[in-house]
Amino acid sequence: MSFSGCSHLEARLSAKVFGEVQGVFFRAATVEEAVKLGVSGRVANADDGTVEVEAEGERDALESLLAWLHVGPPAARVEKVEFSWGACAGDFRGFHAEKTFGGRGPSP
């Protein structure tokens, strides 16, 4: 379901963050960063110990979020980030954390 139309300047970022990224407030910090950047989407822990992010917004803002994901909050130790780009679908309203994506996360 699409909440709003996307402009030609908007894109979708799907990312999977590896390392010590659960139990270190990674999701909360990601929400804070995404809101600051004005992107919408969600972040969740995955069963394999990674954190998954789906975000939509202007490409420049998403690139800034991606750069931040490579570092994360102070307590995190990011080893690598797998990501892919796609077309904005207008799937999100705001940015929020979920415990999990219910077994279906982004496909990096």
- Per DSSP, the three-state class of 8 is coil
Which residues lie below 8 Å from residue 80, measured CB to CB, with a gap of 6+? 17, 18, 19
Annotation marks residue 59 as catalytic = no
Active-site annotation holder among 12, 27, 77, 93: 27
Q: How far is CA 63 from CA 11, 12, 57, in A?
A: 10, 10, 10
Active site residue: 12, 42, 45, 93, which one?
45
Is 104 one of the catalytic residues?
no
Alpha-carbon span 95 to 67, nearest angstrom: 17
The CA-based diameter of the chain, rounded to the nearest angstrom, is 37
> Which residues does the annotation mark as catalytic?
27, 45
